[in-house]
Amino acid sequence: MQDPMAESYRPQPGRFMVEEKNSPLNRFCRQHPFLSTVLFLLYFIIASRLFSYLLLLVMKGWHPSFIIKNIIGECFYVVLAVIPLSLLGWWRQIGFTRGVRGRDIALYIIPFIVIVLPSIVAFPLVNRQSSTTIIVLALIAALLVGFTEESLFRGLLLQSALPMGIWPAVLISSVFFGVVHLSNILAGFTWNYVFGQALFAFGFGVLLSGLRLRTGSIWPGILFHAAKDIPGLILLTVNPRQVLSTSLNLALLSSGIYCAILLINAVIILRPHKVRELKIAYGLQPVAVPPPLPGQAG
């Protein structure tokens, strides 16, 4: 599983650096990267739980479908992501202003095969059980989920942890991404489903973090995320028992295999010499200045 990216490409010093605001919040994030990452996670968890509680009170007596509830919740989560990113001014830093460059396409081939292709294969199967309306709603929900979770975890959390280093930032944001999925047990999902989902989420987060750092763009991650979620959202709407009845052993085995494949791809994308280049590109490591040639000193 080799990275087909041309080896002649080298990120330039400061290539992905963007001048930041000098607000107290920005300074706090630079000076306390781990603490700020934890606080952002707590902000999301507390705000989302509070919203869920208020939503239950408002919707008392109303029983919308799973997909409708999901869309309502994700609209609120979009706001949760937009507020801190706007306050920090990190839209450029996390890759919202950078599209897909031709030389980066090769990096997306294996993730496309592993993440998107299974959804394409599964779509005709789940389509038989659903209607056009559900498919459209699932597409909307998937795009909202992709935008929200990528903005928060591959955006806000990854960026806030980045001063600690490339791999520490990737692993911390991905562990938090997996841990957050454990909270789905509060939404009525089975432990079997939630454990498998959290394990997959960790590997998924590591790979998408690597792609975001290597390419400087968050958009492919949003699209990959949405494509992965569409079949599951449809099934959870029309036939949740089929998804939630998975045994613990099967959930852990399938998620574990997927997680291993995703991690292998991520390690290749973030292999040591690429990490050294990215440290320079993101301003985490000063560029070594060659000594003057004999006769040029002074």
pLDDT one-digit tens code per residue, 155-170? 999 999 999 999 999 9
Residues 181/202, Cβ–Cβ less than 8 Å? no
Q: Where are the beta strands (DSSP E) in the chain?
A: none
The percentage of the chain sitting over the pLDDT mark of 90, rounded to a whole number, equals 59
Closest CA to 211 of 288, 298, 70, 115: 115
The three-state secondary structure class of 49 is helix
- 14 has pLDDT over 70: no
The pair of structure tokens assigned to 15 is 């290539």
Q: What tens digit of pLDDT does each residue of 131-185 get? A: 889 999 999 999 999 999 999 999 999 999 999 999 999 999 999 999 999 888 8
DSSP letters for 235-273: HHHH-HHHHHT--HHHHHHHHHHHHHHHHHHHHHHT-HH
Q: Please, which residues have CB within 8 angstroms of residue 96's CB and are 6 or more apart in sequence?
A: 155, 218, 219
Q: Is 21 left (phi over 0), alpha (psi -120 to 50) or beta?
A: beta
pLDDT band of residue 22 (cuts 50, 70, 90) is confident
Write out the H or E segment, with its range, that includes residue 199. Answer: helix 191-215
pLDDT band of residue 290 (cuts 50, 70, 90) is low
Closest CA to 9 of 113, 112, 105: 105
Residues 184/176, Cβ–Cβ less than 8 Å? no
Q: What tens digit of pLDDT does each residue of 217-249 get? A: 999 999 999 999 999 899 888 877 776 677 778
Q: Please, which residues have CB within 8 angstroms of residue 145's CB and are 6 or more apart in sequence?
A: 70, 74, 225, 226, 229, 233
Q: What tens digit of pLDDT does each residue of 44-93 get? A: 999 998 988 888 888 777 888 889 989 999 999 999 999 999 999 999 99
